[in-house]
């Protein structure tokens, strides 16, 4: 299954890692493109999930529209202060 996880904090990274263990194709989105690039480059999210290896096979997408394009499932794991903004953007889907 193609799954997009919106939010690359501790919760989003942990959920994406668990879903990847189930052989799902993961796309990870975050508002901060530099944070995504760091996770992609290092294979870790030291800021929010220190010491945990993350699969490098994930797709890392800083554009929310592209991140959810073709997704069969979208997991919303953003911080509460961003919830309204992100869900408002998703309303068209």
pTM (predicted TM-score): 0.94
pLDDT digit string (tens) for 57-87?
999 999 999 999 999 999 999 999 999 999 9
Q: What percent of the chain has pLDDT over 90?
A: 94
- Strands 44-45 and 49-53, bridge-based pairing: antiparallel
Instruction: Tell me how far apart the alpha carbons of residues 90 and 93 are, in angstroms, rounded to a whole number.
Output: 5
């Amino acid at each position: 299954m193609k799954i997009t996880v919106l939010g690359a904090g501790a919760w989003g990274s942990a959920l994406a890692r668990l879903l990847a263990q189930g052989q799902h194709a993961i796309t990870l989105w975050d508002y901060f493109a530099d944070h995504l690039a760091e996770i992609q480059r290092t294979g870790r999210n030291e800021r929010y999930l220190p010491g945990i290896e993350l699969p490098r096979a994930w797709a890392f997408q800083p554009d929310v529209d592209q991140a959810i394009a073709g997704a069969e499932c979208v997991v919303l794991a953003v911080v509460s202060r961003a919830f309204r903004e992100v869900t408002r953007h998703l309303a068209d889907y």
